[in-house]
Structure 1
Amino acid sequence: MTFSQELRVAADDIYQGIFEHPFVVGIGEGSLHKEAIIHYVKADFEYLNAFMNIYGIAIAKSSTREDMTYFYEKIGFILNSEIHPHHNLCRVAGVGYDELQGYPLPPTADHYVAHMKSVAQQGSSGELIAALLPCPWTYLEIGHYLKDKYQPAENHPFYEWITFYAKEDTATVTTELCERLDQWAQQVGEAEKQKAKLAFIKSCQLEYLFWEMAYNVEEWPFSLDGMGE
């Protein structure tokens, strides 16, 4: 069993919880309420900006042009491809994509970003990949789970969202990150692998909480307006 496979087994309860979360179920059933969709897109737009920042940290830590090119291309995937599921959600909610950009991260998403950035800045390359991996990996499995369970037709309101995350391009991102993590794991000791495992499990937990945050329209207890003034 590879290191990435070990991580997937360790996080299986979290993955199953994500599949059964009412936000994910709402996508599958086509019944997700507008407020949750809008809150999700607002948060995910900023989260993906942070994700690209962390790919930038990975570039800075890379020692070969091959690695630099790899992480650079992953930024392009987010910029040019991962906007499509957002557009699908915005059409369902009846709002323009531009209207949902530039909002502060809700508490859970803010914590998730802080976790990933801390690992990226202070941890090893393996820890960095492990912290990033649950995002594409859980979405890939969500896409396949929803496609298999609901078998959405093209008139399903979230057809584009589901099929985007179930397609080969999304699988490639996960596969390549797993391969890089496994190569790293073969060269380090058990203590380093345990650090990467902790980073991975925390990110899986926060993936679950991200859905919870969106579904419950989580906000800060007091307004952030006026910060810095």
Structure 2
Amino acid sequence: MSFTNQLREENEHLFREIYRHPFVQGIGKGELNPEAVAHYVKADYEYLNKFMQVYGLAISKSAEREEIEFFNEQVQFILHSEVHPHKNLCEYIGIPYEDLQGYDLPPTADHYIKHMLYHALQGGMGETLAALLPCPWTYLEIGKKLEIEFLNESQDHPFQPWITFYTEDAMMDVTNFMRSRLDQLAEKASDSEKQKMREAFHKSCQLEWSFWEMAITCEGWLTEEEVSTR
């Protein structure tokens, strides 16, 4: 069994619970709280800005032009393509996309970014890929499952653009490249290095679930007043 297949098997419960999360299921059912949608877009816009910085760090660790080209393409993909699912969510709630940009990251999203930055700064390419991989991989699986379960039942689904975006070949290609490269690196890694990869991947899976939870609860930082009353 490949290393990434092992990672997927070890984190099956998290992949399952991510798909079962009320926000994800709300996308499938075409029914979401507008405040939760706005909170998600605000957080995800800034999260993706930081995600591109992690790609930049990955470029600095790349030993081959193929890797440099891949990470450079992913920066372009986020800049020019991943705005489309955001715009679908904005259309659903009737708020211009530009009005949901420039907000502080909520605690969970802030934690997630710093987790990836830590591994990108302190670890090698294997750790960096392990921390990055759950994001595209879980979204790819979400899109495929939602498409099978919900789109076949509806000819006029409000989140069809969001769902089909994450089933396109581009998402499959991103996931497959990261998996293939991580498998190659794991073959040459020591047991301690592979353990660090496992931990990075597992924590990112946990934080993927927490990101959805952050959106549906509209999580924010405590105000001074809230702190003083506790």
Question: Separation in 2 of the partners of 1:120 and 1:222?
Answer: 31
Q: Which residue of 1 aligns with 2:74?
A: 74
Q: Which moved more, 1:58-67 or 1:154-163?
A: 58-67
1:98 and 2:98 aligned: yes
Question: Separation in 2 of the partners of 1:67 and 1:165?
Answer: 22
Deviations 1:73-127 (A, max 9, x none): 1111111111110010000010011101110000010000110001100011100
Q: Classify 1:201/1:2 alpha carbon distance in 2 versus 1 (closer, same or farther; 3 Å).
A: same
Q: Which residue of 2 aligns with 1:7?
A: 7
Question: Separation in 2 of the partners of 1:97 and 1:154?
Answer: 25
Q: Which residue of 2 aligns with 1:220?
A: 221
Matches within 5 A, 1:1-229: 1-152=1-152, 153-222=154-223
Letter aligned with residue 175 of structure 1 = N
Question: Separation in 2 of the partners of 1:169 and 1:104?
Answer: 29
Q: Which runs of 5+ in 2 are unaligned?
A: 225-230
Question: Separation in 2 of the partners of 1:9 and 1:77?
Answer: 28
Letter aligned with residue 109 of structure 1 = A
In the alignment, is the contact (CA less than 8 A) between 2:23 and 2:213 conserved in 1?
yes
In the alignment, is the contact (CA less than 8 A) between 2:151 and 2:157 conserved in 1?
no
Q: CA RMSD in A?
A: 1.0
Question: Separation in 1 of the partners of 2:44 and 2:162?
Answer: 14
Question: Separation in 1 of the partners of 2:48 and 2:58?
Answer: 15
Letter aligned with residue 215 of structure 2 = A
Q: Which runs of 5+ in 1 are unaligned?
A: 224-229
Question: Separation in 2 of the partners of 1:174 and 1:38?
Answer: 27
Q: Which moved more, 1:152-161 or 1:49-58?
A: 152-161
Question: Separation in 2 of the partners of 1:186 and 1:47?
Answer: 31
Please report how far the alpha carbon of residue 68 of structure 1 lies from its aligned counterpart in structure 2 after TM superposition: 1.4
Question: Separation in 2 of the partners of 1:68 and 1:35?
Answer: 38
Question: Separation in 1 of the partners of 2:207 and 2:137?
Answer: 13
Deviations 1:163-199 (A, max 9, x none): 1111211111101100010011111111111100100
TM-score by length of 2: 0.95
Please report how far the alpha carbon of residue 159 of structure 1 lies from its aligned counterpart in structure 2 after TM superposition: 0.4
In the alignment, is the contact (CA less than 8 A) between 2:108 and 2:211 conserved in 1?
yes
Please report how far the alpha carbon of residue 64 of structure 1 lies from its aligned counterpart in structure 2 after TM superposition: 2.7
Deviations 1:8-66 (A, max 9, x none): 00110001101110000100000111001000000000100111000000111123333
Question: Separation in 1 of the partners of 2:90 and 2:182?
Answer: 34
TM-score by length of 1: 0.95
